[in-house]
């Protein structure tokens, strides 16, 4: 093959690792220069006796002018002194060659140490299994556990199982892979602290013995602690903190203690609010049931109709015109995974209100806001005469006056005044304003 030189050169050939035995593979990295636009794209390696020939093929590819091209690992080769010849091929022509000499040494079998064993306590600190082997084993091996599962080589007492752990140092022929084992045994424990378990309680529930949470067959006579501080054997919801409580028993010598844990979660008590009775008119198109109950109800409950059929969530609305006049009981139920469900009963009294809101012609504007109201009501009124004395009456459904006050219009425009009716029971009322020529009425619902 003719050798052509047009700036295509091999500038370096490096072997990694530097020390190579007959049991090792190694990497050849070739550095050099090629014309702009060319790049290495393939290689072959052939051994003939003590000569190892590497052919690096360079072709068009848009690469840089210089390159550093690693060759996939080669070997192993028998021990001896070798010439490593690197040829650069471009367009089928040999454009450069480079030769280095390399000694490949006799291999040495790895040493995985001698069998070792240890007996430990479950509360001991983690340790390196390599330190249990005898005879100064070589590093860089891999560990597997008693069920042939991969293992990090760091044994974690109380977490890792006892048994035989295997240490393997893999190598290539003619060297032999080394394998050794260690035996890890736990000290037998006479005392039993039980099995860790979890319990969820309601914040307003009764006290419970922590011992009842543990699984298995724990022995009595131990000590409870929380966050490292002593704690008695009872958990009191609403007083004690949720979290992990530790039960400790004296261990069998030489081990100090055996432990287990009881984890407690606490759910806040449920509230459906306080039951109530509300009165609404049959001509209302919607009524928000949640507005009818008092207290501080949770917004996670479900409403049920008088037939105990679920209607929907806390924001359920009903149509008074559809359900008709009369008393209709609705139930709001708040449930949770741990606390006892809470229930509130809402009685919705639908009454016929035809004609209550008809104003007289004397008042051009008469409004109550908000309506329905929780007690504070703003009255807006346009009296027919300025400086006129007015009387306001609030009547219940029996026609009796539940509240009265005097008003006086001052100047032009609407009269605006806030009324505090929060002392009146929830229900339907008629607000009537009287002047010298007549009166006008409006319906008002208090909740």
Confidence of residue 132 (pLDDT cuts 50, 70, 90): very high
Residues in contact with 387: Cβ distance below 8 Å, sequence separation at least 6, in sequence order? 408, 409, 410, 411
pLDDT at 379: 92
**Cβ(430)–Cβ(395) below 8 Å:** yes
| Distance of alpha carbon 270 from alpha carbon 273, whole angstroms | 9
| Distance of alpha carbon 91 from alpha carbon 80, whole angstroms | 34
pLDDT at 151: 97
Chain center to CA of 368: 49
Residue 311: CB atoms within 10 Å: 15
Asked whether this chain's domains 197-267 and 365-446 adopt the same fold, the reply is: yes
Measured in residues, the chain has a length of: 447
> Which residue has tokens 């081990």?
255
Q: Is 79 helix (H, G, I), strand (E, B) or coil?
A: coil
Select 276-351's CATH number: 2.60.40, 1.25.40, 2.30.30, 1.10.10.
2.60.40
Q: Is the pLDDT at 356 greater than 50, yes or no?
A: no
Confidence of residue 359 (pLDDT cuts 50, 70, 90): very low
If you average pLDDT over each of 147-151, 318-322, 334-338, 365-369, which comes out highest?
Answer: 147-151
Q: Which helix (H) or strand (E) holds 41?
A: strand 38-48
pLDDT at 4: 46
Where in the chain are the domains?
9-105, 116-186, 197-267, 276-351, 365-446
Which own/partner contact pairs does 80-83 have at CB distance under 8 Å and 24+ positions apart? 80/50, 80/104, 81/50, 82/50, 82/51, 82/52, 83/50, 83/51, 83/52
**Mean pLDDT for the chain?**
89
pLDDT at 358: 45
Closest CA to 403 of 413, 393, 412: 393
| Average pLDDT of the segment spanning 183-201 | 90
> Which residue has tokens 């093929």?
57
| Distance of alpha carbon 140 from alpha carbon 412, whole angstroms | 99
Q: What is the pLDDT of residues 301-314, one digit of tens each?
A: 999 999 899 999 99
Q: What percent of the chain has pLDDT over 70?
A: 93
Q: What is the pLDDT of residues 219-278, one digit of tens each?
A: 999 999 999 999 999 999 989 999 999 999 887 778 878 889 999 999 889 999 999 988
| Distance of alpha carbon 68 from alpha carbon 163, whole angstroms | 49
Q: Specify the CATH class of 197-267 in words.
A: mainly beta
| Distance of alpha carbon 291 from alpha carbon 273, whole angstroms | 11
The more confidently predicted of residues 11 and 286 is 11
If you average pLDDT over each of 259-273, 347-361, 393-407, which comes out highest?
Answer: 259-273
Q: Is the pLDDT at 360 greater than 60, yes or no?
A: no
Closest CA to 380 of 410, 416, 432: 416
Per mean pLDDT, which range of 116-120, 142-146, 175-179, 440-444 is the poorest?
440-444
> Which residue has tokens 């390696």?
45
pLDDT at 86: 96
| Distance of alpha carbon 184 from alpha carbon 239, whole angstroms | 44
**Cβ(348)–Cβ(427) below 8 Å:** no
Considering the entire predicted model, what is its pTM?
A: 0.48
CATH hierarchy code of domain 365-446: 2.60.40.3080
Per mean pLDDT, which range of 25-39, 357-371, 389-403 is the poorest?
357-371
| Average pLDDT of the segment spanning 373-389 | 85
**Cβ(444)–Cβ(404) below 8 Å:** no
**Residue 129: what are its φ and ψ, rounded to 5°?**
-65, -25
Q: Is the pLDDT at 298 greater than 80, yes or no?
A: yes
Q: Residue 395 pairs with which residues in a beta bridge?
A: 401, 430
| Average pLDDT of the segment spanning 381-396 | 83
Q: Is the pLDDT at 149 greater than 90, yes or no?
A: yes
CA angle in degrees (0–180, nearest 5) for 363-368-374: 160
| Average pLDDT of the segment spanning 323-337 | 89
What is the DSSP code (8-state) at residue 446? E
| Average pLDDT of the segment spanning 184-199 | 90
**Cβ(271)–Cβ(293) below 8 Å:** no
Closest CA to 98 of 128, 141, 59, 55: 55
Per mean pLDDT, which range of 84-93, 265-274, 361-370, 397-406 is the poorest?
361-370
**Cβ(94)–Cβ(2) below 8 Å:** yes
| Distance of alpha carbon 438 from alpha carbon 311, whole angstroms | 46
Q: Is the pLDDT at 97 greater than 90, yes or no?
A: yes
DSSP per position, 100-169 = EEEEEEPP------B-EEEEE-TTSPPEEGGGTSBS---SS-EEE-TTS-EE-SEE-TTTSPPEEEEEEE
Q: Is the pLDDT at 414 greater than 80, yes or no?
A: no
Confidence of residue 412 (pLDDT cuts 50, 70, 90): low
**Residue 259: what are its φ and ψ, rounded to 5°?**
-130, 155
Confidence of residue 398 (pLDDT cuts 50, 70, 90): low
């Amino acid at each position: 093959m003719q050798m052509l030189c047009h700036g295509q050169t091999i500038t370096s050939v490096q072997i990694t690792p530097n020390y190579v035995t007959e049991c090792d593979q190694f990497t050849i990295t070739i550095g050099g220069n090629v014309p702009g636009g060319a790049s290495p794209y393939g290689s072959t390696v052939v051994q003939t006796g003590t000569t190892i020939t590497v052919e690096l093929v360079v072709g068009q590819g848009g690469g840089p002018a210089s390159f550093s091209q690693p060759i996939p690992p080669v070997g192993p080769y028998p021990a001896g002194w070798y010439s490593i010849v690197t040829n650069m091929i471009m367009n089928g022509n040999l454009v450069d060659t480079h030769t280095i000499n390399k000694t490949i040494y006799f291999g040495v079998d790895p040493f995985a140490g001698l069998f070792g064993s240890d007996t430990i306590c479950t509360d001991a600190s983690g340790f390196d299994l390599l330190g249990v082997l005898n005879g100064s084993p070589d590093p860089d091996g891999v560990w597997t556990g008693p069920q042939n599962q991969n293992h990090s080589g760091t044994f974690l007492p109380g977490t890792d199982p006892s048994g035989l752990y295997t240490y393997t140092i893999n190598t290539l022929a003619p060297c032999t892979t080394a394998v050794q084992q260690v035996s890890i045994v736990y000290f037998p424990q006479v005392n039993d602290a039980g099995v860790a378990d979890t319990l969820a309680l309601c914040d307003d529930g009764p006290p419970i013995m922590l011992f009842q949470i543990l699984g298995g067959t724990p022995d009595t006579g131990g000590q409870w602690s929380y966050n490292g501080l002593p704690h008695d054997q009872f958990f009191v919801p609403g007083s004690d903190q949720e979290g992990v409580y530790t039960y400790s028993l004296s261990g069998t010598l030489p081990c100090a203690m055996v432990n287990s844990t009881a984890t407690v979660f606490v759910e806040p008590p449920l509230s459906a609010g306080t039951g109530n009775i509300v009165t609404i008119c049959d001509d209302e198109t919607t009524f928000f049931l949640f507005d009818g109950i008092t207290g501080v109800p949770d917004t996670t409950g479900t409403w049920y109709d008088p037939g105990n059929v679920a209607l929907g969530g806390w924001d359920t609305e009903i149509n008074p015109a559809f359900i008709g006049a009369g008393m209709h009981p609705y139930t709001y139920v708040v449930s949770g995974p741990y606390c006892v469900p809470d229930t509130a009963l809402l009685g919705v009294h639908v009454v016929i209100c035809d004609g209550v809101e008809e104003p007289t012609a004397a008042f051009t504007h008469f409004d109550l806001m908000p309506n329905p109201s929780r007690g504070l009501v703003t009255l807006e009124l346009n009296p027919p005469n300025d400086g006129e004395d007015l009387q306001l009456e609030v009547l219940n459904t029996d026609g009796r006056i539940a509240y009265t006050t005097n008003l006086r219009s001052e100047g032009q425009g609407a009269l605006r005044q806030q009324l505090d009716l929060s002392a009146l029971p929830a229900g339907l009322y008629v607000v009537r304003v009287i002047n010298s020529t007549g009166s006008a009425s409006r319906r008002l619902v208090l909740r």
